[in-house]
């Protein structure tokens, strides 16, 4: 047998061998899709390379990220949140498709709650609220007709002085844009940089196979949202924009919940006084809804609402 034949005959290394037989579900929120695994007692620490293999769209299950459902008591971050709210029993351990840890995912937290209900790990009637632990703090999820609404907490500008003085803080270069464009950086517990485009033809021309270049880039990298305001911008008191997004550690996704919130923050800021507090964000995977509300502590919070669907169940391997 030749070396080439021997190579072809040898069994390929299976990066998921240690996870063989582990049950999983597949779910999505407006096309932002996830592999979900229940690990209530924290018995299974899935390694970054295993996350990447699971999320590979050609050699694995395929997803924008992995969500592990673990009881908060089994993680240091979760125990800290339990001290704040004993009701935050479940922690959403979220990893990007490349295996890197992410603070939060707005679509993911809705799908996470749908998964808990699907698995019988929690119950939630319409109108009830479930607190969920995340690395961006506790997120309170309300069950509503057609999906879930999440209090995403307060927003803030990453560079507030520049945002107020110049309405921008960085330049973004992307494949498909003729020149670099000004942008505004917003934190929703994770970093976002929002770029406004003049028309949907520009949005369609973008090639987001590679990450846009942001200068200066926030300290922990950033997700980049490209948005086009509707014409007219506001109809019946609700603003509307179209959006595409490149996520850190993932690439282009069909939707991004925290990105939709950041986009609404930026567009409302650019629109100035009189801009509405309710927004529809149209993404390739559907439409999510953003509202600005007052939190219990008096700060302005962002609420994200939209669907969450579990589409499949299976076992790894």
Where on the phi/psi map is residue 154: left (φ > 0), alpha (ψ -120 to 50), or beta? beta
Out of 82, 149, 242, 256, pick the active-site residue. 256
- The residues pairing with 40 across neighbouring beta strands, listed in sequence order, are none
Q: Is 174 helix (H, G, I), strand (E, B) or coil?
A: coil
- For residue 245, which of 285, 276, 291, 296 has the smallest C-alpha distance? 285
- For residue 250, which of 65, 47, 92 has the smallest C-alpha distance? 65
Write out the two tokens for 37: 């695994």
Task: Report the Cα–Cα distance between both ends of the chain, in Å, rounded.
Answer: 30
Q: How far apart are CA 241 and CA 236, in angstroms?
A: 14
Task: Please report where in the chains the tokens 């006084």 appear, as a residue.
Answer: 273
Q: How far apart are CA 251 and CA 96, in angstroms?
A: 10
- Asked if 261 is an active-site residue, the reply is no
**For strand 90-96 and strand 129-134, is the pairing parallel, antiparallel, or unpaired?**
parallel
CB 99 within 8 A of CB 295: no
CB 145 within 8 A of CB 292: no
Q: How far apart are CA 204 and CA 284, in angstroms?
A: 11
Out of 69, 105, 109, 141, pick the active-site residue. 105
| Angle in degrees, CA 144, 148, 154, rounded to 5 | 120
Write out the two tokens for 68: 């592990």
CB 92 within 8 A of CB 121: no
| Residues annotated as catalytic (active site), given as ranges | 105, 256
């Amino acid at each position: 047998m030749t070396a080439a034949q021997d190579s072809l005959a040898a069994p390929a290394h299976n990066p998921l061998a240690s996870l063989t037989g582990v049950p999983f579900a597949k779910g999505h929120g407006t096309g932002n899709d996830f592999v979900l695994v229940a690990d209530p007692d924290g018995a299974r620490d899935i390694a970054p390379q295993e996350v990447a293999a699971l999320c590979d769209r050609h050699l694995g299950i395929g997803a924008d990220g992995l969500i592990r459902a673990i009881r908060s008591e089994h993680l240091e971050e979760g125990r800290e949140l339990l001290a704040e709210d004993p009701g935050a029993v479940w922690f959403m351990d979220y990893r990007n498709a490349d295996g890197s840890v992410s603070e939060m995912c707005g679509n993911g937290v809705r799908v996470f709650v749908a998964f808990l209900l699907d698995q019988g790990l929690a119950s939630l009637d319409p109108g009830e609220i479930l607190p969920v632990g995340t690395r961006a703090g506790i997120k309170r999820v309300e069950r509503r007709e057609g999906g879930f609404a999440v209090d995403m907490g307060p927003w803030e500008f990453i560079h507030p002085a520049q945002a107020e003085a110049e309405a921008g803080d960085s330049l973004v270069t992307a494949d498909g844009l003729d020149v670099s464009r000004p942008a505004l950086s917003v934190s929703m517990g994770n970093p976002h940089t929002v770029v406004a485009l003049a028309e949907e033809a520009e949005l369609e021309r973008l090639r987001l196979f590679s990450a846009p270049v942001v200068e200066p880039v926030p300290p922990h990298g950033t997700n980049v949202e490209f948005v086009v305001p509707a014409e007219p911008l506001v109809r019946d008191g609700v603003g509307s924009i179209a959006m595409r997004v490149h996520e850190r550690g993932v690439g282009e996704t069909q939707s991004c919940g925290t990105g939709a919130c950041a986009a609404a923050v930026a567009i409302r800021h650019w629109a100035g006084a009189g801009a509405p507090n309710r927004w529809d964000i149209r993404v390739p995977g559907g439409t999510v809804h953003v509202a600005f509300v007052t939190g219990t502590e008096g700060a302005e919070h962002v609420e994200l609402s939209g669907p969450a669907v579990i589409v499949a169940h299976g076992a790894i391997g």
